[in-house]
Amino acid sequence: MICPYCSSIMEKGHIYGDRYRLKWLSASKKPLLGIFIAGGESIGQSGFFGRPKVIAYKCSVCSKLTIDLLEQED
């Protein structure tokens, strides 16, 4: 993938969660009691036995991460 910020080649990888599915929360909202993500949007995949993960591309030149919410691994 080409970096949308600096046009360098990005390296494909994953962002892994610990126990629970990864969630996105708008900057205008705060976690409930500082820890619960009420109303957040689930992202990535999680299996019954596997860790939650999302595919991400890292640019070593400009230190950006890009996540494609539609891309899934088979």
Which residue's structure tokens are 């999302």? 54
Domain hosting 56: range is 1-22+51-74
Domain for residue 46, yes or no? no
pLDDT at residue 42, rounded to an integer: 75
Total domains present in the chain: 1
Domain for residue 40, yes or no? no
Q: What is the pLDDT of residues 7-39, one digit of tens each?
A: 999 999 988 877 777 777 777 777 776 666 777
Q: Provide the whole-model pTM.
A: 0.73
pLDDT at residue 51, rounded to an integer: 77
Residues 34-51 have a mean pLDDT of 70
Domain for residue 27, yes or no? no
Helices (H), 6-45: none
Q: What is the pLDDT of residues 50-70, one digit of tens each?
A: 778 888 999 999 999 998 877
> Beta strands of the chain (E only): which ranges?
11-16, 23-24, 41-42, 53-59, 64-67
Domain for residue 31, yes or no? no
Domain for residue 36, yes or no? no
